[in-house]
Amino acid sequence: MDKMGLGDGLDNLQHRWRHLRKVLERSGPFCHPDFEPSPDNLSFVMGSCKILVIGAGGLGCELLKDLALMGFKQIHVIDMDTVELSNLNRQFLFRRRDIGQSKAEVAAKFINTRIPGCHVTPHFCKIQDFDETFYSAFHIVVCGLDSVVARRWINGLLISLLSYKDGVLDQSTVIPMVDGGTEGFKGNARVILPGITACIECTLDLFPPQVTFPLCTIANTPRLPEHCIEYVKVIQWSKENPWDVPIDGDDPQHINWIYEKSMERAAQFGIQGTTYRLVQGVVKNIIPAVASTNAVVAAACATEVFKLATGCCAALDNYMVFNDVDGMYTYTYQAERKEDCLACSQKPKALEISGPEAKLEDLITILCESPKFQMKSPGLTTIIDGKNRTLYMPTVTSIEEKTRVNLTKSLGELGLEDGSQLMVADSTSPNTLLIVLKFATPPDVDMT
Ligand SMILES: [Zn+2]
């Protein structure tokens, strides 16, 4: 009778999972068209379905608990962070004794002990430490991340797993991605079928840009404590550079130094409200986390995972926003694919730039600042006369030094012309992006 082969006794099969059996062994009007009611559906959830949870923070703890209680037994979790004191109010799988330990490892151990039969495998590392072989072993990937770059990277990786035959997508290579995000009292849950529905890059303009204050305000007319902190962070630190290193938001000495200098500046301008916590928040760009928002969004994501795994209900199509700032509000809509999406469109991406007189650094600025690209620190190579040529490579110091001189050269001087192709590598994607230069002003045509 132990069909799962996982030690579930008769009692468990009949009682523990009876609510699931009701939706998995009966048909209904909302089922996916391919759904076939059968006890096999539960066997799949409990026996073979492999889920990857990315992030073991506020959303990740909720997701692990939800998925484990819904019957999933083969769960992997990746997180590169360790438990901090400030996590304990909402990341409920952690206790004071866990401070300093890997979030993924502590969370996995907690779930495995608390929910018999569930097997969570932790990975204390970055998502970039694994390659396609690792990711292609999962049925569904669910993300509880606070980093847009990490989301974009995993999105790019799942898209790189797709295979096309004569331009037609091979459906068996699609690994669905369920993505949750929260910010204070707002959140969203979405279902991405790579190559089929809108991906992260298709909707990149939905992510708000990092909050920045105009430099003139920071320098001349500060009105808020944030302006004073930002002044110390941006201007005073680089001037005085107390430890001769970049700011480390996790170093209490650094935060303390910024706190004291910010207090001095705030006093000069008669500004109240500078606190150590605020300094931490501004320096690390921390958005306040609300436990209830995490719980709602994670529950929505876990439900989507269950729907995708079993087909017992059609999945979310495809973007749900949640807001409980004032009352409660949710809205679901179909985010659309972008025809020339950087990640999933399979088309060469055009980059428009003024003309051959534009400098390489102008081109890099476009890659970083335009809503379409939003890159972090792109490296560029091209092929000129059949030869590979590195134009700029910021990630390797020796190559950076050698190629730095190109930044102030014009595209014309570098041998680039309208229609030239560039290979661009950036931390926002595991794949190299091919872009085609498009000059706004075509070269003067000799009319004689
Ligand atoms: Zn896309």
CA of 432 to the centre of ligand 1 (A): 15
Instruction: Delineate the domains of the chain, giving CATH numbers in brackets.
Output: 7-185+290-316 (3.40.50.720), 215-284 (1.10.10.520), 349-439 (3.10.290.20)
What is the DSSP secondary structure assignment for residue 305, as one 8-state letter?
A: H
pLDDT tens for residues 245-275? Answer: 888 888 899 999 999 999 999 999 999 999 9
Query: Two tokens at 336?
Result: 């659309």
CA of 149 to the centre of ligand 1 (A): 15
Per-residue pLDDT, 9: 55
Out of 31, 49, 125, 216, pick the active-site residue: 216
pLDDT tens for residues 61-94? Answer: 999 999 999 999 999 999 999 999 989 989 999 9
CA of 345 to the centre of ligand 1 (A): 6
220 cis-preceded (ω within 30 degrees of 0): no
Per-residue pLDDT, 217: 76
CA of 127 to the centre of ligand 1 (A): 20
pTM listed for this prediction: 0.78
Catalytic annotation on 216? yes
Query: Two tokens at 300?
Result: 């929505």
CA of 121 to the centre of ligand 1 (A): 30
Mark the ranges of the chain whose per-residue pLDDT is less than 50. 1-6, 448
CA of 195 to the centre of ligand 1 (A): 7
- CA dist 312 and 31 (Å) reads 5
Instruction: Measure CA 372 to chain center.
Output: 16
CA of 338 to the centre of ligand 1 (A): 6
Per-residue pLDDT, 162: 92
CA of 335 to the centre of ligand 1 (A): 10
Residues 6+ apart with CB under 8 A from 218: 227, 230, 231, 234, 235
Per-residue pLDDT, 304: 98
Cβ atoms within 10 Å of 360's Cβ, excluding its own: 21
Per-residue pLDDT, 211: 57
